[in-house]
A and B are shown apart, each in its own frame.
Chain A
Amino acid sequence: MSRVHVTCTINGDPAEFLCDGGQTLLDALRDEVGLTGAKEGCGTGDCGACSIVMDGRLLCSCLVLAPEADGRNISTVEGMATGDDLHPLQQCFLEGAALQCGVCTPGFLVAAKALLDRNPDPTETEIRYGLAGNLCRCTGYDKIVRAVQAAAETINES
Chain B
Amino acid sequence: MTVTESKPSYKYVGTRPVRHDGLEKVTGRARFAADLNMSGQLHGIVVRSPHAHARIVSIDTSDAEAMDGVKAVITGDDFPAVDPSHRQYDMCINVIARDKVLYEGHAVAAVAASTRDQAQAAAAAVKVEYEVLPAVLTIDQAMAPGAPLLHAHMMTAGANPPAEEPSNISNVTRFSGGELDAGFAEADLVIEREFTTQPVHQGYIEPHACVADTGQDGHTTIWCSSQGHFNVRSSTATLLGWENSRIRVIPAEIGGGFGGKTTIYLEPLAVALSAKAGRPVKMVMTRDEVFRATGPAPGTKLRIKLGVKSDGDLVAGDAYLIYTNGAYAGPGGLLGAMTVFESYKIPNFEIEALDVVINTARSAAYRAPAAPLTAYAMETMLDEIAEELGIDPIDFRIQNAVTEGDPSTMGFPFARIGFVECLEAVRDHPNYKAPLGPNQGRGVAAGYWFNIGESSSATVNLNEDGTATVVTGSPDIGGSRASMALMAAEELGIDVYDIRPVVGDTEAVGFTDVTEGSRATFATGMAVVEACRRMVVELRGRAAKMMGVDVDDIDWMDGQAVYTGSDGEKAPLSVAEITAKAKRTGGPLTATGSLEAHGAGPGFAVHLCDLEVDPETGVVRVVRYTASQDAGTAIHPSYVEGQIQGGVAQGVGWALNEEYIYDSDGVMENPSFLDYRVPVASDLPMIDAIIVEVPNPAHPYGVRGVGETGIVPPIPAVANAIYDATGCRIRDLPMSPIRVLDAITSNGGSNGS
Residues on A facing B (Cβ under 8 Å): 20, 30-31, 35-44, 46-47, 49, 76-78, 80-81, 86, 90, 93-97, 99-106, 109, 124-125, 127-129, 131-146
Q: List 24 A-B contacts (CB under 8 A).
A: A40-B34, A41-B255, A43-B286, A46-B674, A47-B205, A47-B673, A76-B28, A77-B26, A94-B26, A96-B638, A99-B22, A99-B25, A99-B26, A101-B253, A103-B206, A132-B681, A135-B680, A140-B647, A140-B687, A141-B679, A142-B641, A142-B687, A143-B642, A143-B645
Nearest CB of A to B645, in Å? 3
CA distance A46 to B684 in the complex (A): 18
B27 touches which of A38, A78, A100, A137 (Cβ 8 Å): A78
Q: Does B223 contact A (CB under 8 A)?
A: no
Contacts of B673 in A (CB 8 A): 41-42, 44, 46-47, 135
Q: Is the CB of A94 within 8 A of B18?
A: yes
Residues on B facing A (Cβ under 8 Å): 16, 18-19, 21-23, 25-32, 34-35, 37, 117, 202-207, 253-258, 284, 286-287, 477-479, 636, 638-639, 641-643, 645-650, 672-674, 678-682, 684, 686-687, 689
Contacts of B258 in A (CB 8 A): 137
Nearest CB of B to A76, in Å? 7
Contacts of A40 in B (CB 8 A): 34, 207, 284
Nearest CB of A to B140, in Å? 32
Identify 20 new A-B residue pairs, CB closer than 8 A, beyond the known A94-B18, A94-B23, A102-B255.
Answer: A39-B35, A39-B255, A42-B672, A43-B287, A76-B28, A86-B27, A99-B26, A100-B479, A101-B255, A101-B478, A104-B205, A131-B682, A137-B205, A137-B646, A139-B649, A140-B642, A140-B684, A140-B687, A141-B684, A144-B681
CA distance A27 to B649 in the complex (A): 30
CA distance A128 to B19 in the complex (A): 25
Contacts of B477 in A (CB 8 A): 100-101, 138
Q: Is the CB of A137 within 8 A of B479?
A: no
B646 touches which of A46, A124, A140 (Cβ 8 Å): A140
Contacts of B687 in A (CB 8 A): 140, 142
Contacts of A49 in B (CB 8 A): 205
CA distance A35 to B28 in the complex (A): 8
> A36-B35, A137-B650 in contact; A44/B674 too (CB < 8 A)?
yes
CA distance A143 to B674 in the complex (A): 24
CA distance A138 to B707 in the complex (A): 10
> A42-B673, A139-B645 in contact; A95/B26 too (CB < 8 A)?
no
CA distance A140 to B714 in the complex (A): 12
Contacts of B286 in A (CB 8 A): 43
Contacts of A97 in B (CB 8 A): 16, 19, 479, 636, 638-639, 641-642
Contacts of B679 in A (CB 8 A): 141
Q: Is the CB of B34 within 8 A of A39?
A: yes
Q: Is the CB of B27 within 8 A of A81?
A: yes
Nearest CB of B to A17, in Å? 15
> A43-B287, A101-B256, A142-B687 in contact; A93/B26 too (CB < 8 A)?
yes
Residue of B nearest to A92 (CB): B26
Contacts of A99 in B (CB 8 A): 22, 25-26
Contacts of B28 in A (CB 8 A): 35-38, 76-78, 106
Contacts of B686 in A (CB 8 A): 124, 142, 145-146
Residue of A nearest to B479 (CB): A100
Nearest CB of A to B288, in Å? 8
Q: Is the CB of B649 within 8 A of A141?
A: yes
Q: Is the CB of A103 within 8 A of B639?
A: no
Contacts of A139 in B (CB 8 A): 642, 645-646, 649
Residue of B nearest to A27 (CB): B116
B649 touches which of A30, A81, A94, A140 (Cβ 8 Å): A140
Contacts of B204 in A (CB 8 A): 101, 103, 137
Contacts of B636 in A (CB 8 A): 97
> A41-B206, A97-B639, A100-B479 in contact; A137/B26 too (CB < 8 A)?
no
CA distance A109 to B686 in the complex (A): 19
Q: Is the CB of A37 within 8 A of B27?
A: yes
Residue from the set B207, B679, B681 with the largest chain A CB neighbour count within 10 Å: B681
Q: Is the CB of B682 within 8 A of A129?
A: yes
Contacts of A42 in B (CB 8 A): 287, 672-673
Q: Is the CB of A131 within 8 A of B681?
A: yes
Q: Is the CB of B35 within 8 A of A30?
A: yes
B256 touches which of A103, A106, A109 (Cβ 8 Å): A103
Contacts of A140 in B (CB 8 A): 642, 645-649, 684, 687
Q: Is the CB of A100 within 8 A of B646?
A: yes
Nearest CB of B to A26, in Å? 11
Nearest CB of B to A94, in Å? 5
Contacts of B287 in A (CB 8 A): 41-44, 46-47
